[in-house]
Amino acid sequence: MRPENLDAPGLVSGCGVMTGLARPACRMQQSGMANLTLVYGMRLLPSDEVESVGEAPVVLKNGNQARVTMHVLEGSRAEIEAQLRLSIEAFFDFYPEI
């Protein structure tokens, strides 16, 4: 189930989501689009110790909830960094308007 105020998975209408921090009023960028917030998390663990990974909940100021899909990358440091760069590029390819 997707909250009504999400334009697309991972993007929140308006000012976006910040956790644990005060946020000033949104300012419109020159493009006319509100500032966005990318919500992410990272943690390195021994690969043989990870059993499962789930979604992370995000609570919006209006009371709605969104979910952040977690991703798992395995390999050496160089392999993980390369995979992460590709994942970031692919993520933004979903949103050519930004």
Phi-psi region of 75 (alpha: psi -120 to 50; beta: other; left: phi over 0): left
Q: Please, what is the average pLDDT of the chain?
A: 75
What pTM was estimated for this model as a whole? 0.57
Residues ≥6 apart with Cβ < 8 Å to 75:
83
**Number of domains comprising the chain:** 1
The mean per-residue pLDDT over the stretch 43-65 comes to: 93
- Domain assignment present for 11: yes
- Domain assignment present for 14: yes
- Domain assignment present for 46: no
| pLDDT tens track for 37-47 | 888 889 999 98
Task: Tell me the residue range of the domain where 84 lies.
Answer: 6-41+54-93
pLDDT of 29 reads 44
pLDDT of 32 reads 64
- Domain assignment present for 48: no
